[in-house]
Structure 1
Amino acid sequence: MTGYVEPAPHEFAANYLFDSDGLAPFFAADSQIKSGGGSKRGEFTDQGERWTVTLYYQDSNVVHPGSKLPTGTEWRLDEMREFRLSVSRHGEEDRVGEQGFNAHLAPRWQGMEIEQSDGTISEYSVPDGIHEAANVKIQGSNIEFSRYLRLLRLAATSVGIRGRYFEEPHEYSNIQDAERYVRIHKDASGPVHARDGPIASMGHLLESDRQGYRKVVQNDQDEHGRNLPGYYHTVTLGPRRIREAFPDHALPKEVKHYYAREAKNQPEDSPLAHPKVGVSYQVSRWDRKLGVTEDDLEQLVRELDQAVLSVLADAGLDVAPNRGTGPFISDAYFEVETRDDGPEPIDLDLTRIKSQQESVVIKHLADGLSPVQWESLETLITHGGEVSPADIADDHDRHVESVRRALRGIDDLVVREYAEVKLRSSYVAELVHEAVEEAEEAVKRAAETGAKAIQAAKQGMDESMSVFIAWANRHGVDVDDALSRRDARMEMRLGEPEQDTDKTLREGLRVWKEAGMPVERFRMARVRFSDGSVSDAWRYLSPG
């Protein structure tokens, strides 16, 4: 096997609008329903696969237009109906029965009215430029996204509706939902959903604490209340924040690690005993749309696949297994295969973001905050909901202009938009909360680090060294030994010995190297714990 593992398609939903033939597809469906006595069945083959089709109808809340539409077209149907095509892989080929889609066909015309559940009638908004059209809403699963339109045409043809009606979607057609996923062995999935793993970290570090929409879910209980670590863990990020992790991505996404409902009851050799890691497009998280063109679908697949691979790689999983299937588990719709021409995983670099945010907080504390700035931060971490400069001023009996001036001085800690103020991330909020709660100790500690940062600057070190200083202060590294006494052995103090000491030190080594410092000096450092035990850094670091 070569290249990176290829995720499989899961959920998909899209609204296809067809106006080239007006309402002809709708009238054709009505005709076939009547000729079939209420429904009609068909079958077709595509790419060597057998598919079954059922055409049926449902009631409609579209108000009957009378004998003529507002557009002038004669209307000869007595009942208002809408139509559905249920398209499924043949049962002999899909024994799981979850590969297929449902296509809901509804009419559209200018001036169309609908009746609400409470009996009120209102005009349905049909885009300008659309005279008459058929809207087809597709919801499916486990089918490559690029196949849906072709399968729709073949399905329609199989029940007597011309497939050509569905050849040219209008530019207003758009994708509503889409997910790509892999299935991984449950013994390998822990780092993905861990409290310090990529899912939690993205929500923790990349989102401001009150930014429009932020959702992090960490549920370790299944539907029956049984404990199952990683049962349903997700993070949802809007387009602006997702670009902090994926600079060339535009689509808002949800990243998730989840099990099937009955995973707990499945034997070890069942794919359902093992979780999925998926990434889905979240249309409700932005005010733009993603179309259904070939380029749109390529962008969708590229971004979703790259996000899946990047999350797995950040968690330390082998996304390019060259022997066997690595940590992956095949199922009915996900085959463990790799491809050379797919997207490469991106280094999420969440540790660097964390270190930079620590450095920003420490810098402000070291430089000293004004009383108004302290008061502003205190309000931000204790006040729920939206907070404005006026709210802060009222809380502390200050003039609102004084608050605004104070906030301008800490722009890298807070976000100010539309008279609303919020901290830049929930992680920054935690750091500031700790500082507010333990103000004297925090300021003293930060001031010491500030002095060391000045010392580092005098020695001509680049800005990357400040990231290490922030890390060092956070974990109790004796930075003074590290910087000023180069002939002495560096010493680190790390509190109580813990299982993740090796992870902490590997993080420190990476930041140390990026600061241009000699690797061996770090590796040979003495590690002193608060219980009095002493060890060597190299014992906790991977070889080399």
Structure 2
Amino acid sequence: MSRHIKCAPHECDVRFTVGVHPDPGVPDYGLKPYYAMDSLIKEWGDRWETDGKPTRDIEFNGETWATCFDYSKSGLDPWDSPEFQLQTVREFKFYFVAKSNPKYEGKRADKDKRVQGGTISVRPRWPNLTSNGTPVSVPDYGGPYVDVQVQASNLPHEDYLSLVKRVMDAYGIAARYFDPPHPDSHINDLAYYVRIHREYSGPLHAADGPIARAHTLIQGDRTGYRKHEEDNTKIPGYMVKSVVEDEKAGELVRGHKLGKELKHYYPNEPQKYTPDDAPYHPKFEVSYQTSRTDHTVRWDDLDDARRELEETVLNCLDWCGLSTSAESGIFVDFDPFWDMRDTTESRKFVPCPLPEIEDEQEHRVMKLWGDMTDADRDVTEMLLTDGGKVSPKEAAEKTGYTYRTIRTVVDRLEGLIRHTYGELELESKKVQQELLKRVRAAGDRFQQDIGSAAMELADAAEERGRSRWARVRREYAITEIDAEDCRSLLEVGYTADDLDEAKAIVREIRTAYTECVEANTYGIHVVVETAESGRERFRDLSNVFTSAYRSGDYIRETRAAEKARDGFDFEAWKEAGYPVGENWDGG
């Protein structure tokens, strides 16, 4: 069964609807939890002035949490109903913070920075809700109910509802009021991350990394929401992020459908930390973007949303040649908010689609450019230079061609020009860049010299190669590193039992690498940790058993030493490429 790193939960914002439920077997409590909180205020009485806000300590998930209860005016008008006897409509809030966390400052929960904690906001709702006489738009379920919003960080998102019930119980408010929530309960914000040692994270935020390329290759030229931000002022990769809209999510990982943000970032002042501090090392995070997703993600959809965000994190690591195993050593195991460990939860890995998308778009531009008519080129240049959204009618006015000619151009240049919602745009930033090269080439015509059939065969072979090498990398938690003393260093996160198993692993790595990456393996070194002998470094996959570095000391394994060893593996010797002529006796 495949193992991979379990991502850390970061921010989450959930809106639970309680007190009403479509299942007739579930009792409707209406505003009872709200009335219970209002009674708590009255019971506390003058102690608000003398003792301060009510506080409670609770035990939850094996930790002690400090909590605090507070209220404020909501701005809502009282409900015009005989059952509503309150003169003032309040909003209630519960603060919570983990006392056992090393960042806890010992303050009251509403005063602490809540590095691991959050708030529970409780708001009443009823039909025809108004504020100062103006209608307030909220879901109408035919009766009163309570909106419970939980906003927190650094605790498992699936535990939010249990935490709400535990907090309410501590203040004498019946937990049954909150379970089960209405099926319309939904998620507004959701994020998962991994924290990577600084020296390994470069490929993620590089110009050709998955964050930048996702923006360039799969985001349209004009329509929709496009956002890519890079801030390298304080440190390389200080803040690099891109947004992928829901309609494009499936191009990144097939089957995905959430709008999301990919982000590599450091804290505000990274220079304040040393390598022994977790914030010295960056986070790579993928977060659900409500505003970039057409459909609503319900509370019951949490498992699917979590899976999609974690798969995006894991695949981006994999595409960068970074191991996705906790054993690899690339992840920071002293992050106070993350129990870093591997899991066998099912997660989908796919070959990186970005090179294929890039190749396809380059080929498309090459194929169509050489056959463009004057009208094709004029419309293309207009789209490249015009700063606004252009309709076919506006394109006709700006170029002087008829509307029919513009529609013909759009049909002929399908794949370069996209026509959506009555507007024209270039297919992607990549297409825009490729076309700009050709426009600036003063009209040079480009021909496609390679037949499409041969191109498809080459792409298929490349795809198979990437898949096999990706499988071997994941199986042995291999991380590819640029090293000064070799062309490339492959670090194996998997710990072998002994030297023989290490050699077997290296043989498998060599086979997959030569078949799928490149035939020339000179200068490709492999490091494997063994339980028996410690760190082993094999020099050159092409000459893998001639020499090794063991625990830092250079050791040459001669042919005689190999032959003298019990159980000499003659087939392995041959596989390694050593002489086996008829006059050679192995001495």
Give TM-score scaled by structure 1 length.
Answer: 0.79
Once the two structures are superposed, the pairs formed by residues 301-450 of structure 1 within 5 Å of their partners are: 301-322=306-327, 325-366=329-370, 368-441=371-444, 443=445, 446-447=446-447, 450=448
Shift of 1:342: 4.0
Q: Report the Cα distance in structure 2 between the residues aligned to 1:282 and 1:7, rounded to whole angstroms.
A: 18
Contact 1:2 1:320 in 2 (8 A): no
SS at match of 1:125: coil
Could you report, residue by residue, the CA deviation over 1:176-228 in whole angstroms, capped at 9, with x for unpaired residues? 0010011001111111000111100000101111131011111112xxxxx31
Residue of structure 1 equivalent to 2:289: 282
SS at match of 1:177: strand
Residue of structure 2 equivalent to 1:35: 43
Higher relative contact order (CA 8 A, sep 6+): 1
Q: Report the Cα distance in structure 2 between the residues aligned to 1:144 and 1:205, rounded to whole angstroms.
A: 33
> What is the identity, as a one-letter code, of the residue corresponding to 1:463?
E
Q: Report the Cα distance in structure 1 between the residues aligned to 2:518 and 2:253, rounded to whole angstroms.
A: 32
1:206 aligns with 2:206: no
Contact 2:76 2:89 in 1 (8 A): yes
Residue of structure 2 equivalent to 1:3: 3
Could you report, residue by residue, the CA deviation over 1:106-145 in whole angstroms, capped at 9, with x for unpaired residues? 0100011024xxxxx4211232334110001110001111
SS at match of 1:32: helix
Shift of 1:48: 2.1
- The change in CA–CA distance for 1:329 and 1:229 in structure 2 (over 3 A counts) is farther
Could you report, residue by residue, the CA deviation over 1:405-425 in whole angstroms, capped at 9, with x for unpaired residues? 111011111111111011111
Q: Report the Cα distance in structure 2 between the residues aligned to 1:276 and 1:22, rounded to whole angstroms.
A: 42
- The change in CA–CA distance for 1:127 and 1:178 in structure 2 (over 3 A counts) is same
Match of 1:247 among 230, 254, 259: 254
Shift of 1:47: 2.8
Shift of 1:251: 1.2
Residue of structure 2 equivalent to 1:132: 144
Q: Report the Cα distance in structure 1 between the residues aligned to 2:309 and 2:101, rounded to whole angstroms.
A: 31
Shift of 1:468: 10
SS at match of 2:369: helix
Residue of structure 2 equivalent to 1:101: 118
Residue of structure 2 equivalent to 1:123: 135
Contact 2:101 2:336 in 1 (8 A): no
Residue of structure 2 equivalent to 1:114: 131
- The change in CA–CA distance for 1:523 and 1:21 in structure 2 (over 3 A counts) is closer
Unaligned residue ranges in structure 2 (runs of 5+): 21-27, 106-113, 463-483, 489-513, 526-540, 543-587
Shift of 1:353: 1.0
Q: Report the Cα distance in structure 2 between the residues aligned to 1:468 and 1:371, rounded to whole angstroms.
A: 37
Q: Report the Cα distance in structure 2 between the residues aligned to 1:408 and 1:541, rounded to whole angstroms.
A: 49
Contact 1:44 1:50 in 2 (8 A): yes
Residue of structure 1 equivalent to 2:85: 76
Q: Report the Cα distance in structure 2 between the residues aligned to 1:377 and 1:540, rounded to whole angstroms.
A: 46
Contact 1:197 1:315 in 2 (8 A): yes
Shift of 1:363: 0.6
Q: Report the Cα distance in structure 1 between the residues aligned to 2:66 and 2:135, rounded to whole angstroms.
A: 37
Contact 2:215 2:243 in 1 (8 A): yes
SS at match of 1:432: helix
SS at match of 1:287: coil
> What is the identity, as a one-letter code, of the residue corresponding to 2:249?
I
Q: Report the Cα distance in structure 1 between the residues aligned to 2:82 and 2:424, rounded to whole angstroms.
A: 54
1:300 aligns with 2:305: yes
Give TM-score scaled by structure 2 length.
Answer: 0.73
> What is the identity, as a one-letter code, of the residue corresponding to 2:313?
V
> What is the identity, as a one-letter code, of the residue corresponding to 2:35?
F
Q: Report the Cα distance in structure 2 between the residues aligned to 1:305 and 1:343, rounded to whole angstroms.
A: 8
Residue of structure 2 equivalent to 1:218: 230
Contact 1:355 1:467 in 2 (8 A): no
Q: Report the Cα distance in structure 2 between the residues aligned to 1:130 and 1:346, rounded to whole angstroms.
A: 46
Could you report, residue by residue, the CA deviation over 1:47-91 in whole angstroms, capped at 9, with x for unpaired residues? 3221222111011111234xxx2xx34322222211001122125
Q: Report the Cα distance in structure 2 between the residues aligned to 1:169 and 1:254, rounded to whole angstroms.
A: 28
Q: Could you tell me the percent identity over the aligned residues?
A: 29
Shift of 1:462: 6.1
Unaligned residue ranges in structure 1 (runs of 5+): 116-120, 222-226, 470-498, 504-518, 525-536
Could you report, residue by residue, the CA deviation over 1:313-361 in whole angstroms, capped at 9, with x for unpaired residues? 11221112535x3344431111321112241433222111111110010
- The change in CA–CA distance for 1:48 and 1:467 in structure 2 (over 3 A counts) is closer
1:147 aligns with 2:144: no
Residue of structure 1 equivalent to 2:240: 233
SS at match of 1:463: helix
Aligned length: 456
SS at match of 1:101: strand
Residue of structure 2 equivalent to 1:257: 264
Residue of structure 2 equivalent to 1:490: none
Residue of structure 2 equivalent to 1:14: 14
Contact 1:64 1:80 in 2 (8 A): yes
Once the two structures are superposed, the pairs formed by residues 391-540 of structure 1 within 5 Å of their partners are: 391-441=394-444, 443=445, 446-447=446-447, 450=448, 452-454=449-451, 461=454, 463-465=456-458
Two-structure CA RMSD over aligned residues (Å): 2.6
Q: Report the Cα distance in structure 1 between the residues aligned to 2:136 and 2:335, rounded to whole angstroms.
A: 43
> What is the identity, as a one-letter code, of the residue corresponding to 1:333?
F
Contact 2:356 2:459 in 1 (8 A): no
- The change in CA–CA distance for 1:90 and 1:130 in structure 2 (over 3 A counts) is farther
1:266 aligns with 2:273: yes
Contact 1:359 1:467 in 2 (8 A): no
- The change in CA–CA distance for 1:467 and 1:402 in structure 2 (over 3 A counts) is farther
Residue of structure 2 equivalent to 1:61: 75
Residue of structure 1 equivalent to 2:548: none
Q: Report the Cα distance in structure 1 between the residues aligned to 2:102 and 2:202, rounded to whole angstroms.
A: 34
SS at match of 1:434: helix
Could you report, residue by residue, the CA deviation over 1:153-197 in whole angstroms, capped at 9, with x for unpaired residues? 010110111111111211221100010011001111111000111
- The change in CA–CA distance for 1:266 and 1:540 in structure 2 (over 3 A counts) is same
